[in-house]
Amino acid sequence: MFLLYTGFTVVNCPEGMVIYMEFKKIGVLTSGGDAPGMNAVIRAVVRTAGKAGVETVGIMEGYQGLMDGNFVELNSESVSNIISKGGTMLYTARAAEFKEKSGMDKALKVCRENNIDGIIAIGGDGTFRGATELSENGIPTIGLTGTIDNDITATDYTVGFDTAMNAVIDCVDRLRDTCESHARCIVVEVMGRDAGYIALQAGIATGAIGIVIKEVPFDESAMIERIIKSKAEGRRSFVVMVAEGVKDAEGKPYGEGLTLRIEQNTGVESRFNRLAHIIRGGSPTLRDRLAASMMGEAAVKLLLDGKSNLVVCERNAKIVTFEINFALTLDKMYKNKLKPGDLDRFSHSEIKDMEVLAEIRRQEIRDMYNAALSLM
């Protein structure tokens, strides 16, 4: 239940109480791995809040800064010209203590002392766990995706993905030039611990002859055959894309062993290349600047409308929201990581909705993978 008042918000407490509070100051933080577009979100938050007469403070280094009271004042001018900058002007950190009661107590005290009425937390699934904890402890919090992996199942898109993808394409195109000159195969490992979106889409976009992701079984001998056949037809260069999350039977990165086997079985000189963090920085693309701006604006309006414990998502080109716990549990369902009891708090129809959404994602990946195979 929520009611709307101009300049006021109504917050549901865990006990079911309703607090009527005037909204004067919100905090914004970036947490977990950085992603291009985080600055554009910060700018959108500050500008939207300012127009509504609400002050924004920047919380430095994610939840660490929230526990330490490490803040920076932000206003319309101080966020000028950051829309084009990669990284995050508020910096980021992994703050283990925030998962403990002592860390939460520190954060709540800091919020009280600094009159912070609500928080917008930008990051990945870990960041959203922190956001839901804050919401449940009485600080209205909205989560917003900032991660290059596009690995939040509830949303079609996470801020940072497009910029990272374009960086991958740029690197692989360069590697391809050398492979073509020397008649080589390059096996490229890209980020994505749990999700193969980067490897799959970059594989399609760079004309890979093989794509190895966790979500779809990989037929290595069929790929070896493709390379042998293409080589016989005159092709000189080959690209194979591997997601970092894929490991061999000994738990080692799959791409390293694969490189040796390609060379042994095809006679094509092969090299392994891990792109790692090189794809995470840089000026955000149009797609990321737009997504960041629209989502940042939406997040502030949600907070001012009295909403809390939600994550801002994009589905079918529209901005939508999910309850954070729903989104986190959907994610576990999709990644087959559900533990006993995880579904207990959800109704039958919510669980059904999760199953449908998880299946939509699985089908999307399978369809894209099949399309990629047709193009190899």
Binding site for ligand ATP (CB under 6 A): 31-33, 62-63, 94-95, 98-99, 123-127, 129-130, 133, 147
Q: Name the minimum Å distance from CB 266 to ligand ATP.
A: 36
105 is catalytic: no
Question: For residues 95 and 200, which CB has a smaller minimum distance to ligand ATP in the complex?
Answer: 95
215-222 own/partner pairs: CB under 8 Å, 24+ apart: 215/362, 215/365, 215/366, 215/369, 216/365, 216/366, 216/369, 218/246, 220/258, 220/261
Q: Using alpha carbons only, what angle is made at residue 155 by residues 159 and 135, rounded to the nearest 5 degrees?
A: 85
Nearer to ligand ATP, 280 or 289 (CB): 280
> How far, CA to CA in Å, does 119 sit from each of 46, 285, 293, 300?
12, 26, 17, 9
Report the distance separating Cα 211 and Cα 238, nearest Å. Answer: 12
User: Which uninterrupted H or E stretch holds 30?
Assistant: strand 25-30
Least distance CB 68 / ligand ATP (angstroms) = 12
* 228 or 343: CB nearest ligand ATP: 343
The answer to whether 70 and 37 have CB atoms below 8 angstroms apart is: no
Contact yes or no for 55/25 (Cβ under 8 A): yes
**Candidate list 117, 125, 149, 288, residue with the active-site label:** 149
* CB 81 to ligand ATP: min, Å: 25
Give the CA-trace dihedral at 147, 150, 151, 157, to 10 degrees. 110
Q: CB 164 → ligand ATP: shortest distance, Å?
A: 11
Q: How far is the CB of 104 from ligand ATP (least distance, A)?
A: 7
Shortest distance, CB of residue 67 to ligand ATP, whole angstroms? 9
Residue 30 pairs in a beta bridge with 122
Query: 63 or 272: whose CB is closer to ligand ATP?
Result: 63
**Torsion-angle region of 180 (φ positive above 0: left; ψ -120 to 50: alpha; else: beta):** alpha
Count of Cβ atoms closer than 10 Å to residue 88 Cβ: 26
Asked if 119 and 27 touch (Cβ cutoff 8 Å), the reply is yes
Contact 163, 282 (CB under 8 A): yes
Closer CB to ligand ATP, residue 14 or residue 217? 14
Residue closer to ligand ATP (CB basis): 34 or 55: 34
**What are the catalytic residues?**
149
